Amino acid sequence: DAKTTQPTSMDCAEGRAANLPCNHSTISGNEYVYWYRQIHSQGPQYIIHGLKNNETNEMASLIITEDRKSSTLILPHATLRDTAVYYCIVWGSQGNLIFGKGTKLSVKP
Amino acid sequence: DSGVTQTPKHLITATGQRVTLRCSPRSGDLSVYWYQQSLDQGLQFLIQYYNGEERAKGNILERFSAQQFPDLHSELNLSSLELGDSALYFCASSAQTRAGANVLTFGAGSRLTVL
């Protein structure tokens, strides 16, 4: 069973920041938060992951609340090529990467 | 190019047939994972291998089987194919050797069409 809750869809204007929320209220201490995206039937693409601290890489930033029960993926300057389904997944050392339904992000000109 | 190679990219076959999908992981990755994605469906985890040994099973049908070879490439065998087996099949690999963060790298997928 998916352990995260994400909005079904979101829109974002091109050039603006896209903020994708994720609730994971049952996350346990050793579980990481991972974000992947899938662009129209391509293979899922890893974006970023974090445990407790906020993380940033060349693609995005991940903000994790202090209680770790929710997080936000931030794409700082969304482009049309960022239109995709974004998956927030919590995963520890047991089990496997289980994908939920994700958020369909549409970046509009 | 993610470094995970899947062949064939496309495959069309008939019901009742058997096919083999192949996956070469990224260099150095010991784990291979297989996922199925049917039309408009989510990604379903099928099976995982680590260094040649089966590590975990998901919703894999008995008609499906997989293995990982000594050179670490993996094959997913699908037999007695049915129309409902038409899907994208993704392979992923990771380098995880102990508990902790485990980042999967996915291939481009094999699109299977059963007619």
**Cα A32 to Cα B100: distance, rounded to the nearest angstrom:** 8
**Cα B38 to Cα B36: distance, rounded to the nearest angstrom:** 6
Contact assignment for A51 to B101 by CB distance below 8 Å: yes
Identify the CA nearest to A5 among candidates A41, A39, A33, A43. A33
B64 touches chain A (CB under 8 A): no
Cβ-Cβ contacts under 8 Å, A38 against chain B:
43
The residue among A97, A99, A104 with the most chain B CBs within 10 A of its CB, best to mutate, is A97
- Got the DSSP string for B18-76? -EEEEEEPPTT--EEEEEEE-TT--EEEEEEEETTEEEEE-S--TTEEEEE-TTS-EEE
Q: Which of A25-29, A37-41, B90-94 has the lowest mean pLDDT?
A: A25-29
**Chain A to chain B, count of Cβ pairs less than 8 Å apart?**
57
Contact assignment for A42 to B109 by CB distance below 8 Å: yes
Q: Which residue of A has its CA nearest to B104?
A: A46
**pLDDT exceeds cutoff 70 at B114:** yes
pLDDT in tens, B20-41: 999 999 999 999 999 999 987 7
Q: Which residue of A has its CA nearest to B100?
A: A93
pLDDT in tens, B52-105: 999 999 989 999 999 999 999 999 999 999 999 999 999 999 986 555 788 999
The burial of B106, by beta-carbon neighbours within 10 Å (0-12 exposed, 13-18 middle, 19 or more buried), is given as buried
Q: How far is B21 from chain A (nearest CA, A)?
A: 15
